[in-house]
Structure 1
């Protein structure tokens, strides 16, 4: 029997995910060797504090604070530090030393992906980051490999478990945003400072990565339109529910097509109404899901746990075994394909539908005036519902209108809403949300 070669693995970071990765490398060493074709030896774990408490009991001699020295002697480097620096410097050093790199660092890949890929190509090594998007869900490899012979036209993703939990709580219990956020923090789904999640920044990083792989073009974080969920109210949730919709924070990347459409790919993150029969509407709690539309494969959905130590470690280990195989076979690193070169389209070019909530005076001719204004802007109304409200104090009446439009350009829809605000019969525009799946 041929003796298997040994590949040295350097692990940078030992938080929840890193600790589980170290455990798997130690406990499942024989299985991993059989699948990778080489023994994967955990050479060391770089941390800031060697004595910090950890969820997994690991040999103390593995820990070091000298990440630079650890990286120099490694064949494979796993970066789970997070943030931009020192992760960026360590990854670049590892690749220049000939090591394949596995990372779960969505912020870094979204910001500096082109530079990292360029350095990986120069060094002939593999750069992998399945764990950067949707935790345990295998989504990046299927897009890059399984669908490489197809044309993806659109990607819709629930890629942030914190916001999905909050919106799901609001939908199922009627909770206000602040109460649902507090519950998410109590259960450990949300950080003490939840800004990156609730304002959509985390999802925007993942949207840039999904768009880059799906459309073979390098999209950066600044190409992503981003809007969070902090302004979504219990009233919005209730109104959506009554109309047969659920509100989700979606990461969307789609190729703009059709007469009059601008060329390019629209990449955006925002609260979105989905019909309750849409597959993504059934994604509850802190779970993630990605819905893909492709010319030949049709509609595909990937669903699973989007965070957590063990689920995310699973994605890291998949990348690690793949990278080890490439080293064993002495093949080149898997290159990023950037043959698409389509521009990022501004949000004004996106094609979507709107849900618009209006509080209006209850008097003759109001509906006709609103409908005429929509028509003047080239926006067609699909659904219009009216509810009369009587004030017990003043005996005055007002009406609540809920309008769902047909698909139109974002520019036309935004101009319509602005014009509606100027009508003297409009008391207030209570909500404006985008709609998909209708």
Structure 2
């Protein structure tokens, strides 16, 4: 009888231990899978920050590719599962609702300076079934072009491609969505890999770009490869070298197309609904702004009429006969138009030629002296004489040694880096004759 009780207790204890072990292992399993599922559902991967994101791919520990990646979707509304992101001189919002091309979300990239980049990696994708890439972009007025590049399993770039190059106009439209399609062979380099692990977008200008619907497609395309222009080391960029000539009279139309005809050396030249904000760029190393019209380098004798709503920038200047950012003559207006000065800039050296101050009542009608009121400014260049006018009144004129032709520009300045911009409300250039 004692022996029978012993074996009963033995087998009951054994079964209890086995049952307890089964319950505990099942609980741990569901705890792990639930945690992994929750993380994956929002596109987050629990990983060691010190670990190389490409290490598991090189070692063959790839795991299961997400359905989105398997179908060629690199970005659509949210990050793919198990992806990782990175930025360089930029900020990224991967589920922005501010501007979208399709669906409820898009990626917002704020490039803080030249070369700003936003990227995604860590996901292997076999490219053998695909022939092209489609991407939707929406740049603001400060961005002239956006670049895309793919990365191999070692995280090495396969080459940069310009998005503007693949549009019929060879440019991107500001504040408008554009879907661009690129032959995949143009993005995979000279020795195309069968697997990519991510992509990035970048710009050579500071500004904001929205990106959506980055998808590999099976449609075959043929398009010439974009090749970056060869830059001579030490040679500055010349915005006038490849400009398309513009005929006179010229009227600034306050459209993205009008803005794209201008080049900004520094500061802001931002398009609003019916004006241009000209002033200091936020967090810039210098105050003020300088922008030029690229297509006017062949202009000779002309007058520039500008309607300006004065902000906190103390100086608003109209540049004439400009052949480079260091060679031009300017009508520089300050004190809300009461002071007009003529400057001659040659090889970067600025010389004050003449200065005149007008009584306030001579410029503004009685009761119209508020700083926010619009002021009519004019710079007229005829032969070698430059004349500066405010509200129809000649303030200062001088004979100068100038080149025969040159374009126009706008410059602002103030000592305060937080000064609000001056607003350009109208700009017209007329030809003048002796």
- Range class of TM-score, shorter chain: under 0.3
More strand by share: 2
Larger Rg: 2
TM-score between the two structures when normalised by the length of structure 1: 0.25
Give the TM-score normalised by the residue count of structure 2: 0.25
Taking CA–CA contacts closer than 8 Å with sequence separation of 6 or more, which of the two structures ends up with the larger relative contact order?
Answer: 1
Higher helix fraction: Structure 1 or Structure 2?
Answer: 1
